[in-house]
């Protein structure tokens, strides 16, 4: 073989080897140190696919009032609606009929003031933020009884300020105005540890302001990962079950809170991935709201997977990963439930 051909082939092989090495290093960089402020920056072009979803408006034989959160158990949609006499409403997705209301508002036995879902992927659990108590229900009783009795209760050692997640056998909760964002509780409600400090922003700010700047949502895969997404900066952080930072991402537009834009809302577990709504609009825009037409999918190691474009904007939702369904709450033109197949 002529020498010039050998040199040419060697150059091609070396170039490919260097590109492969760069790719491997880029993937490994998702374990970047949070304390340095380093992040893996991604853009819209880094997503593997983009899909447009057409929503189906669901109609029931009774009105859906103003739900702020929804879950699906089997073929039943459970919505939290503070405007109703019963805070929790049940709807049959197959028949379009309302099953009934559950959970009275108040301070009496088994009543709640500020109920939120505990997202565990299994049974029916609520956290009453007012009393810092987790209520566990057997699904059959919750489905058929007007006033179901909880099968067990867990009093948390400290209060939380949001929905809760399960991480293995532990509860994960968010506390406002704390140095760490997430708190881990055992099955008896005792605090084990806190983790996930505020991210290093581009602008130096006093600690007392960071709780407002870095308001966030979070989601767990139920086993060994927790993802935090922020409302006013497009940062995503993924932690393992020990509270160690696994991945620090920023994108798709790479902005900090000072630009006055909305970023991520309502992260949800979708099995092998997690979903999160993306807004990207300036909060000073006319008719601005938190409803979103972009739903982003990421793997639990931080890989951007898919951009879903929704034809009916939603501000919160739940995911039925088994049947690949999304049930969202839309306010356009008034409150209703929209179903997407993905």
pLDDT tens per residue across all 342 residues of the chain: 443 433 333 443 344 433 333 343 344 346 433 433 578 999 999 999 999 999 999 999 998 889 999 999 989 999 999 878 899 999 999 999 999 999 999 888 889 999 999 987 678 999 999 999 999 999 999 999 999 999 999 999 999 988 899 999 999 999 877 778 999 999 999 999 999 998 876 666 766 677 778 899 999 999 999 999 999 999 999 999 999 999 999 999 999 887 789 999 999 999 999 999 999 999 888 888 889 999 999 999 999 999 999 999 999 999 999 999 999 999 999 999 999 999
The Cα-based distances of 47 to 42, 275, 305 in angstroms read: 9, 13, 5
Tell me if 320 sits within 8 A of 299, measured CB to CB: no
Tell me if 336 sits within 8 A of 58, measured CB to CB: yes
The Cα-based distances of 141 to 97, 144, 291 in angstroms read: 19, 5, 34
Q: CB neighbours (10 Å) of residue 277?
A: 28
Q: Residues near 124 by Cβ (< 8 Å), separated by ≥ 6?
A: 73, 78, 136, 137, 138, 139, 142
Dihedral class, residue 204 (left if φ above 0, else alpha if ψ from -120 to 50, else beta) = beta
Q: Residues near 329 by Cβ (< 8 Å), separated by ≥ 6?
A: 67, 68, 70, 79, 314, 315, 316, 317, 335, 336, 337, 338
The strand pair at 325-330 and 336-341 is best described as antiparallel
Domains and CATH numbers, the chain: 38-341 (2.120.10.30)
Residues in the chain: 342
Tell me if 245 sits within 8 A of 239, measured CB to CB: yes
* pLDDT for res 327: 98
Give the Cα separation of 28 and 221 in Å (integer).
Answer: 21
Q: Look at residue 109 and give its three-state secondary structure.
A: coil
Would you give the DSSP letter of residue 65? -
Q: Residues near 95 by Cβ (< 8 Å), separated by ≥ 6?
A: none
Both structure tokens of 3: 């020498």
* pLDDT for res 176: 78
Dihedral class, residue 251 (left if φ above 0, else alpha if ψ from -120 to 50, else beta) = left
Tell me if 336 sits within 8 A of 60, measured CB to CB: no
Tell me if 219 sits within 8 A of 119, measured CB to CB: yes
Whole-prediction pTM: 0.87
HSE-up of residue 120 (Cα within 13 Å, Cβ side): 19
Both structure tokens of 231: 């409302």
Both structure tokens of 64: 């859906």
* pLDDT for res 201: 63
Both structure tokens of 104: 């009275």
Instruction: Give Cα 16 to chain centroid, integer Å.
Output: 38
* pLDDT for res 140: 93
Letter string b/e over residues 187-221, b meaning 16 or more CB atoms within 10 A of that residue's CB: eebeeeebbbbbbebeeeeeeeebbebbebbbbbb
Give the Cα separation of 93 and 76 in Å (integer).
Answer: 6
Strand partners, 126: 117, 135
* pLDDT for res 18: 37
Give the Cα separation of 68 and 317 in Å (integer).
Answer: 9
Both structure tokens of 195: 């983790």
């Amino acid at each position: 073989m002529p020498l010039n051909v050998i040199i040419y082939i060697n150059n091609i092989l070396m170039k490919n080897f260097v590109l492969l090495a760069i790719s491997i290093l880029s993937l490994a960089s998702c374990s970047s140190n949070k304390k340095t402020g380093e992040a893996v920056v991604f853009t819209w072009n880094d997503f593997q696919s983009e899909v447009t979803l057409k929503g189906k408006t669901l109609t029931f034989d009774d009105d859906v009032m103003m739900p702020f959160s929804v879950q699906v158990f089997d073929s039943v949609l459970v919505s939290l609606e503070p405007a109703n006499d019963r805070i929790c409403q049940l709807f049959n997705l197959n028949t379009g009929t309302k099953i009934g209301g559950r959970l009275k508002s108040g301070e009496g036995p088994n009543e709640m003031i500020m109920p939120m879902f505990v997202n565990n992927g299994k049974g029916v659990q609520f956290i009453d933020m007012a009393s810092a108590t987790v209520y566990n229900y057997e699904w059959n009783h919750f489905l058929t009884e007007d006033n179901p009795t909880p099968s067990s209760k867990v009093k948390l050692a400290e209060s939380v300020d949001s929905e809760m997640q399960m991480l293995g056998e532990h509860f994960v909760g968010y506390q406002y105005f704390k140095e760490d964002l997430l708190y881990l509780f055992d099955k008896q409600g005792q605090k084990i540890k806190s983790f996930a400090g505020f991210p290093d922003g581009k602008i130096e700010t006093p600690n007392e302001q960071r709780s407002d700047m870095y308001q966030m949502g979070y989601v767990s895969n139920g086993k060994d990962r927790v993802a935090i997404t922020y409302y006013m900066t497009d940062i995503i952080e993924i932690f393992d079950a020990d509270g160690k930072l696994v991945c620090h991402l920023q994108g798709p537009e790479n902005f900090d809170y000072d630009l006055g834009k909305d970023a991520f809302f309502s992260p949800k577990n979708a099995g092998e991935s997690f979903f999160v709504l993306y807004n990207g609009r300036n909060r000073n825009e006319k008719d601005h709201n938190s409803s979103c037409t972009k739903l982003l999918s990421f793997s639990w190691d931080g890989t951007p997977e898919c951009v879903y474009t929704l034809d009916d904007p939603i501000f919160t939702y739940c995911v039925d990963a088994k049947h690949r369904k999304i049930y969202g709450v839309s306010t356009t033109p008034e409150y209703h439930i929209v179903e997407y197949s993905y």
